[in-house]
Chain A
Amino acid sequence: MSEHIVSKNLYFLIFGALMVLTAITVGVAFVNLGPLNNVVALTIAVIKALLVILYFMHVRYSSRLTWLVIVGGFFWLAIMFVLTSSDYLTRGWVSFTR
């Protein structure tokens, strides 16, 4: 069995999508949406990162074991963010809604 080869056209398509999303994220940054600005910026960044991971990095076609390592990695990252935030937020040191 040989490895999956992603076609050139799909790479161009992903590149185009990444550029459009970059343009949108810049455009939205100049509009005042209050706290929603962060939500929109991070949502777009996560979509862009997913496109890069799934297609440029071929994870969509990778083994289950590779998936497990990646998901585990992001799960650990989430633990770091959530537990640290729970400490800072409950002591009233920071507020994410200001």
Chain B
Amino acid sequence: MATQTLNHADAHHDAAHDEEHHPGLAHHFDNMEQQRDSGTLGMWVFLVTEIMFFGGMFLAYMLFRASNPNEFAAGSYQLDVLLGGINTAVLIGSSLTMALAVFFAQTGNKSLLVLFLLATILLGFVFLGIKAVEYGTKFSHGTIPGRNFKVEHKKMEEYEEHHHGDAAANVDPARLQMFFVIYFMLTGVHALHMIIGIGVMSVLVFFALRNRYSPEYHSHIELAGLYWHFVDIVWIFLFPLLYLIGRH
């Protein structure tokens, strides 16, 4: 009796297996759902390493800011809050277009999937373009950590006026450099992640155009989305911590 039941179960399993077999199913997975869950899990393991990687830099930020609060506030005041704010909106917008790209991959709408991947890439370039303008301004004023570090005097005077001279009087230019070391490090590594994301997304556009994705199989889109949203989250913390601490 037991053997019979077992055989029956096996036969049923094989039939179901043949029926559900998808060309995108790798041989070491039982079914598409298991494959998809494994992909998501693996991507999150990678993202945890990314959290720790950025976490170390955020920790450095926290400790240097705690020891140099006035310099960090003065440094933050030298950043362009309008451009930073626009970039925040652009990046959140790109997260929306990415989420919609995943939606259209899930629902099997190829042309809208491609369109929203391209929109995400475009917004990524807008973000990097604005970042390049900001970096350009800092380069032209010489606000680059190192031997010839110079503070933008107009902004510094504004800051002093804003604080009636009390807080700004304590700003040590040597320590002010540390804010810009951390600013360039964090935003630079963040921008590098965006460039990698744009590269990944371009490959996905190519695959999508070649009909590689379907409602059953679109893990690439989903996982690239996780990566893109992660990069967005990093910026969600960077924007207030870098641009907004010296405004009040």
Contacts and interface: CB of A to CB of B under 8 A. Distances in A.
B11 interface: no
Given A41-B241, A72-B48, A77 B55 contact: yes
A25 B240 contact: yes
Max chain A C-beta neighbours (<10 A), residue from B92, B229, B232: B92
A73 B241 CA distance: 22
Nearest to A98: B69
A57 B229 contact: yes
Contacts of A2: 33
Contacts of B248: 29-33, 37
Contacts of A33: 248
B52 A77 contact: yes
- Determine the main DSSP class of B at the interface with A: helix
A63 B99 CA distance: 19
Contacts of A66: 37, 40-41, 44
B95 A52 contact: yes
Interface residues of B, number: 49
Interface string A57-70: 11000110110011
Interface in A48-88: 48-49, 52-53, 55-58, 62-63, 65-66, 69-70, 72-74, 76-77, 80-81, 84-85, 88
Interface in B79-100: 81, 85, 88-89, 92-93, 95-96, 98-100
Contacts of B136: none
B33 A81 contact: no
A45 B236 CA distance: 6
Contacts of A80: 52, 55-56, 59
Given A11-B96, A30-B248, A52-B232, A3 B66 contact: no
Interface residues of A, number: 55
Interface in B139-172: none
Nearest to A55: B99
B47 interface: yes
A25 B36 CA distance: 36
Given A15-B96, A19-B89, A69-B45, A49 B233 contact: yes
A57 B50 CA distance: 15
Contacts of A62: 37, 40
A63 B34 CA distance: 11
A50 B96 CA distance: 15
Interface of A: 1-3, 5-6, 8, 11-12, 14-15, 18-19, 22, 25-26, 29-33, 37-38, 41-42, 44-45, 48-49, 52-53, 55-58, 62-63, 65-66, 69-70, 72-74, 76-77, 80-81, 84-85, 88, 93-96, 98
Given A25-B239, A57-B229, A88-B63, 11 more contacts: A3-B106, A11-B100, A26-B85, A30-B248, A49-B236, A49-B237, A56-B99, A88-B66, A95-B66, A98-B66, A98-B69
18 contacts: A8-B100, A11-B96, A11-B103, A29-B240, A37-B245, A41-B245, A42-B240, A48-B236, A52-B232, A55-B99, A56-B229, A57-B225, A57-B230, A73-B48, A80-B56, A81-B62, A94-B67, A98-B69
